[in-house]
Amino acid sequence: MQIPNHTQIPNEILDETHLYSESELKVILAICRKTIGWHKQEDNISFSQIAEITGLSSASISKALKELEEIRLITVTRKDGITNHYYINYFETTSNSKEDHFKIQRGTTSNFEDTKETSKETNKRYIYSKKKKSEVVTEEQEKIIARTIEILNEKTKSHFQNKGQTRETILKRIRDGYTFEDLQKAIIAKAWDWMSNEEMEKYLRPFTLFCPSKIDGYIAEYDREKHDGKE
C-alpha cells in the first residue's frame, strides 16, 4: 500500500454505522469518496461508479439510495438519460446558500447551531424508525423466503428449514434488494458446478450461496451459462 490520500468521513456516519445496512454503508462511503474525497459536497455519479467501488448489484444500490434519502443523509437529483446528481446533507457554516438549503430542507430556525443539532436528532429518529420498521417481515418477504428454501432443497437435495441462520441469511439479501429470481439464479448456478463435486458440495448452503461478496458473481455466472445454452 502506498502512502495514502485521505477522504474525511463525517463522524455522524462513523458513529452510527451499526444503524445502517451493509449496502447503505457501502453506498454512502462510495458517495463520500466521490464527493468529499475530491473536496466537493456534491457531484454527478453513475451507478457503474458506485457499483465498481461497492461491488453491489444495481438492485442493492437502488434500495440503499432510497433508504439514505429517506433518512435525509443525501439528496439525489434524477434526470432521464443523465447521470444522477448526489448531494451530501451536511452543514457548511461558511456558505449562506448552503445554510439556507438546510434550513429549507430540515426546518427553519433562527439559530444555525440549533438547526444543526435539531437535524442531527431528526436523522437519528429517522434511522431508528427505519431500523425498527426493517425488523417487520412482510407477507411478500415471507413468500420469497419460503420459495427460496423450496428451490434450494430441490436443487441441492437438502433439507434446509425456514428458521435460524438459513432464514436470516435469505431475509438479509431480500432486504438488500435481491429478488426471488436473483436468489434462484445463485442456487442454480452453483448447483450446476458443485452437485457432482464432493469437495464443493458442502458449500451448497445459504451462508455461502447468498454471501454479500459472492452472490452477484453467482448471478452473473448463471446468466453467462444460460446464454451459452447450459440447462
Percentages helix, strand, coil for the chain, rounded to the nearest 5? 60, 5, 30
- Per-residue model confidence as pLDDT tens digits over 64-96: 888 888 878 888 887 655 568 888 886 533 333
Do 189 and 195 form a contact (C-beta atoms < 8 A)?
Answer: no
Closest to 220 measured CA to CA, from 176, 168, 178, 182: 182
Domain definitions of the chain by residue range: 11-134, 139-227
All three cell numbers of 218, joined, read 453467482
Torsion of CA 225, 226, 228, 231, to 10 degrees: 90
Closest to 68 measured CA to CA, from 99, 29, 39: 29
All three cell numbers of 160, joined, read 434446509
- Per-residue model confidence as pLDDT tens digits over 12-28: 788 878 778 888 999 99
11-134: CATH number: 1.10.10.10
- Measured CA to CA in angstroms, residue 206 lies from 19, 35, 139, 192 at distances of 24, 36, 21, 16
All three cell numbers of 84, joined, read 444522477
Q: Please check the confidence at residue 53 and state whether its pLDDT lies above 80.
A: yes
> Residue 163 class from Cβ within 10 Å (0-12 exposed, 13-18 middle, 19+ buried)?
exposed
> Residue 109 class from Cβ within 10 Å (0-12 exposed, 13-18 middle, 19+ buried)?
middle
**What is the rounded average pLDDT for all residues in the chain?**
79
| pTM for this model (two decimals) | 0.48
Torsion-angle region of residue 207: left (phi > 0), alpha (psi -120 to 50) or beta?
Answer: alpha
Q: Please check the confidence at residue 107 and state whether its pLDDT lies above 50.
A: no
